[in-house]
Structure 1
Amino acid sequence: MASVKGDCVVLVRRLSPTTTEDSLREFLGTVGDISHIQFGRDCLTGELTGNAHCAFRQCSEAVQAIAELNKKSLDGNSIEIMEIPKSNLLFSIKSESPPDNTARTQTIIQSPLKLSLFSGEPKPKGGEVPFEMWKHEIRCLQLDDNCNAQSLVRLVRRSLRGEAGQLVLNMGIDSSIDQILDKLEGFYGTVESGAVLLQQLYSARQGLDESITAYSARLQLAIDRVEQRKGISPTAKDETLRVVFWKGMSDESLKQAIRHKYEVVTSFDELVRIARQQEQENGEFQKFHAPQRSRQRVGGANAQTVDTEVDLVKELREVKNKLKEMEINSCSSNVSGRPNNDSSNSRPYRPRPRGPCYNCGQPGHIARECRIPPPPPPAHYPPHPSHFPSPPPLFPPIHSSSSNVSPQYNSPLNEGRPLPRGGQ
């Protein structure tokens, strides 16, 4: 937090890196008396930002500096002199009157307060946070002496979005922070009892692809909710986490590697650190001893190292393409009479001329495509079946010597026609 004493403060921008406090005071002193100068610095690197806050003893001098010295050159740079933005002037502290009955004020300049966005969505996105985190930020701002209740209410209302903002909108403009939090707690806060949350914690298990860091963080957040709902005492948290963490680990090899540490270490944080270290060592060991794929050199003098599996895949793809081409060529040859091995011939395919038609005798088409009606067959060809004599019977008639048999049974039943094979 940067503090500048005095009422009449101006912001000087685009200062040269070579500009010092003495040179700036001498430059601004042409219009009035300077009481305080403070240069801006980067919070991470500590380098000068090219800005400075300068406080005059009288407001008329500050107004004169903005009107006369703006856009003037200082150390080779054209500087800008402007008023301090109201968003940076958060509050003014007025001290008690000194013995000479002259009032003094102190203006504190700092960055404006910020609060994360909250909309009530199950999956926060776009800078939004869950309800518990948003509520925790508000509790922290309530403990800040530099933030009053009215400013915090406005900040909370600006941070609400979507459905949560509509709920607070209908509460009225006189609602306090506690009333807003109680309202949203019923909609988005934790409603399970401490016993139910504790049972969920006991049944927690590590996922197959879940790391030790994610698993331990999930357990820590779960037991924090249990404590908030009065489901567990603060003294029993660490031991409960240690037992649940150990029983829920899915990697048996990692579990066996740190078993001796589990029996000795009594802190959950220390056990998590040991498990993460062992997990990292196992991952590096498996990565170092992973089986290397076989490689071979091809190409003679300019040989290059290629992967055998990649070569096999390429060869298999070429074989599939050739088989597909052969299948297409065989289908086309069945339709047009083109031979199957024409794909290897670079010459264009030319269909052979068709022979003479058996119907009309003209070349260029075949008999089933001929449009000329066929000539009538000759009278002697083919001969009618009635012209052939009837064939003799396959079996001669049987004559019985008995007198009581009628004569019609002496001849076969199918006389003049051939009998089935094996029948009489």
Structure 2
Amino acid sequence: MDFIAKLGIKIPNAVIVSGLTGSEKDDDVFDYLRQCGTISRTLTVDDSSSAFYQNCVVEFSSDLAVQELTPALPYLYPSAENPDVKYCVRALTDVYTKTVGGSVTDTYLTELKTLAKLSGKDFEEVLREVMSKFEESMGSVEAAASPCPNNDTEPTQSVGFPPHHLDNPHSPKLVQSPNPSSLKLNQKPHILSQTDLVSPEVQRIVVEHVVKTTEKTSNGHSTLRLRAFSGRNPRPYPEVDYETWRSHVDLMMGDTSLSNLEKTRKILESLLTPASDVIRPLGPDASVDDYLRLLESAFGTVEDGEELLVRFMNTLQDPGEKPSAYLHRLQVALSLAVRRGGVDPRERDRQLLKQFQRGCWDDNLLTELQLELKKNNLPTFAELLLLLRIAENRQEVKSTRMRKHFSATKQKAASHEQTVTETKMDFSETTSNTLSDLKKQVADLKSQLAAVMKQKKQTVPKKNQTTKPDHANPEPNLPSHSRPSSRPKPWYCFRCGEDGHIVANCESEPNPALVEAKRKELKAKRQIWDRQHNGSASLN
């Protein structure tokens, strides 16, 4: 604070302002200070090594302005344009006394140590002598101040950084009425004495607060109840199975705010017959661990950890099951194996990820999530479940868009069919034309047949020559109606393998396995057809 002495600043008449932004917004705080009194000059600290760098010292022409501001200092003044910008106004007397006084005290103690060392006395003895002089000086000051106890105005005192001003800068008095004229002069903060703290009224208020807080906490815990469990098979609707009930109990056991008595009471309230009959011989004085150990023996799984691990390894995804549902089943099976000691709890996430990769049949999903790359940074069950649900939702949205797109295409085909239906209005006329054409063709065939029969009669041999009936030598060019009309053709969709539609109208998911099976069936039918017709051709 050497710049204060160099510049000749009157410390009782000045305040120091921090939090300046260097913009026009800083004019708000200076306008506020001008309401207290006339400002003679403002000085900005340019020394970068100083703790008050870029702070501004505002010096008033009179110390009355500082006396008017003293009850509210230190004061946080919010900017009118930007509430996030706040300026801290402090009395320069307090800052200077704290900063320079601390430095002077350290220097003085160093000199006292040097004096004790040179004089050969103990430092404590020298310090006691100095403290006795301080007490004498304080006594003389009090004696000088005692003759005037009835003064209406007390001398200006430093408030010494009251913490309540900094903790609550936006008090109603300062924010609602920023005008310093409305502040009371020489207002002192109320400080409770030791007698006030031990008074019966204060103790009664503290005890009532503690009791109400305890009752509120107890009432909050009393509303938490465990689901009912009886151990019946089949399980009634409102009840849960043992594994679910035990997971809820484990969660409750981790609650440190509940006492052992409350935990025992909640467990007993959740048990119904015959589960309650199992623990009845233990009596009400048994511990929670005793109850759980007996219930585990009666209703828990009896398979050891190795068997449960084998069951977990054999858990595969069922047809039509979503990957997220499959992960849920894996988690349940893995929890049983961990509880029975079949899997190390530290290997829980690794085993879950490994088995999911083995048992999930959706290779596209595994490739999309890149689970192979997550072995070094194993995801937890919750993280992996979230990834699966996001991927499933993405696929579902895509399928929905595809169905909407194909349904819109079908509407165009339906309108085309409607156009074809409208052309059927001339059906009777078209039918009559077709019948007339067919009649002409039949007449032509009859005339051709008559000409052929007449030609045969002319070439008939003599009576002693026998001729075979016409049905014995059929014309080789006549078609055989006993043969199939054509070679078997595909009757299925090349995309999903289902019957009744083609790829252009397919809305189902691709099914390569079914398509391959239908293709093999078509190939077999064609081979049978080829053998039959090739054999018939060789016989003819």
Q: Is TM more than 0.5 here?
A: no
Question: Which TM-score applies when normalising by structure 2?
Answer: 0.33
- Higher helix fraction: Structure 1 or Structure 2? 2
- Higher strand fraction: Structure 1 or Structure 2? 1
Question: Which TM-score applies when normalising by structure 1?
Answer: 0.41
